[in-house]
Amino acid sequence: MATLKNLDDLRKLREQVKGELQERFGGEIKIIVGMGTCGIAAGAREVMTEILQELRTRNIDALITQTGCIGMCEREPLVDIERPGEKRVTYGRVTPKDVKRLVAEHVLHGRVVEDLVVARFDEEEE
Amino acid sequence: MEELSLHILDLVQNSLRAAATKVEIFIKEDLTRDCFLLEVRDNGRGMPEDFVKEALSPFTTTRTTRRVGLGLSLLDMVARRCGGGVEIDTKLGKGTRVRAVFQHSHWDRAPLGDIKATLVAIIAANPKLSLIYKHRLGGRDFILDTEEIKGILGRDIPLNNMAVLGWLEEYIAQGLAHLYGGEEKDGNPKESG
């Protein structure tokens, strides 16, 4: 069993993270996961878990948020990715297996993963 | 939904949609009385009284994108199938408490499943939410209180910092492993009964 995580560890971690925070650059990548009943039933939690894991492994700083049902239940789990200054893209029927690709292509390099796209947002629509 | 922890995630989404800033999840596994209790309590806007009566019907929802609501009625259905049911206690402007009871040993009772993933997902996407998770089993408690963690982290470091989320994941896994009195396996603590 790994060393027990306790609140003292968290205090140590705080000091460590504080140092790293100053190196952050401006503009955050946003990732939005659909978490309505339809999304959850379709596997949104597992997708979210995988996204968090992948971001951590690759040491990527992104903001993860969630949304409820947006009326595209049959295409859940839905994941939106938005890079600073770029259009938001909605991906559908995302599985945990797709996450590595979405992160490597879109989140890191801004290359849209065409086969998973269900919608694109122009800035005027928002 | 094959895990009760997915229903919990769903209930918390209801709380968030009701503008809750505080959510308490309580699980009590009472093996002597063969009872599995699951409760989500929030300080959201609550529901009007006539709406509560209908809340368990699959044809009721506050959502505007689709006219059919499923979450609560689905939970009620699975609880009833396991010799229990769902009870809703709500006050407009004060909050809502949803309580589901199951016969612990019932064949059809879904396992709690990956509650760690549920908690981390909620916290990652809602770092400002004040979340308490309390799980009681055989005289032991595991309690996670995000306010306590925020207190330690201070103002500069948000709860959704990747390193903090990593710590949280392990903290929860170990807390649950201790609660179930054994090693954790695949995020699914072993279930008794």
Q: What is the pLDDT of residue B58?
A: 65
**What's the whole-number average pLDDT of chain B?**
87
Q: What is the pLDDT of residue A8?
A: 86
What's the CATH number where B155 sits? 3.30.565.10
User: Which ranges of A22-104 does DSSP label H, i.e. alpha helix?
Assistant: 37-42, 44-57, 96-101
Query: In percent, how much of chain B has pLDDT > 90?
Result: 70
Q: Provide the residue range defining the domain that includes B64.
A: 4-179
| ipTM value | 0.88
- Of the CA atoms within 13 Å of residue A35, those in its CB half-sphere come to 30
In the predicted model, is pLDDT for residue A123 greater than 60? Answer: no
Mean local confidence (pLDDT), B162-169: 92
CATH of range A27-125; options 3.40.50.720, 3.40.50.10330, 3.40.190.10, 3.40.30.10: 3.40.30.10
Q: What is the DSSP string of A65-77?
A: EEE---S-GGGPS
Q: What is the pLDDT of residue A126?
A: 46
Q: What is the pLDDT of residue B185?
A: 45
Q: What is the DSSP string of B111-167?
A: P---HHHHHHHHHHH-TTSEEEEEEEETTEEEEEEHHHHHHHH-SSS-TT-HHHHHH
Q: How far is A52 from chain B (nearest CA, A)?
A: 8
pLDDT tens string A76-89: 999 999 999 899 99
Number of domains in chain B: 1
Chain B residue with CA closest to A30: the answer is B125
| Within-domain flag for B161 | yes
- Taking CA atoms, B83 is separated from B27, B100, B104, B136, B193, in Å, by 17, 11, 9, 21, 15
| Within-domain flag for B125 | yes
- Return the DSSP state at B188: -
Q: What is the pLDDT of residue A9?
A: 87
Q: Where are the domains of chain A?
A: 27-125
Angle at the Cα of B68 (from B113 to A37), degrees rounded to 5? 25
- Is B65 in a helix, a strand, or coil? coil
- Of the CA atoms within 13 Å of residue B127, those in its CB half-sphere come to 17
B157, B170, B183 ranked by CB distance to A5: nearest:
B170
B6, B163, B170 ranked by CB distance to A40: nearest:
B6
Tell me the C-alpha distance between B47 and B19, whole Å: 12
Q: How far is B75 from chain A (nearest CA, A)?
A: 11
Q: What is the pLDDT of residue B49?
A: 77
Q: Note whether B167 and A13 are within 8 A (CB).
A: yes
Q: What is the pLDDT of residue A67?
A: 92
Binned at pLDDT 50, 70 and 90, residue A1 comes out as very low
In the predicted model, is pLDDT for residue B107 greater than 90? Answer: yes
pLDDT tens string A5-64: 788 889 888 888 877 765 555 568 999 999 999 999 999 999 999 999 999 999 888 899
- Of the CA atoms within 13 Å of residue A51, those in its CB half-sphere come to 32
| Within-domain flag for B117 | yes
Q: What is the pLDDT of residue B69?
A: 55
Tell me the C-alpha distance between B13 and B7, whole Å: 10
A7, A45, A56 ranked by CB distance to B166: nearest:
A56
Closest of A117, A101, A97, A99 to residue A109, by C-alpha = A101
| Within-domain flag for B189 | no
- B157 or A121, which is more confident: B157
| Within-domain flag for B139 | yes
Identify the weakest region by mean pLDDT among A109-123, B55-69, B125-139.
Answer: B55-69
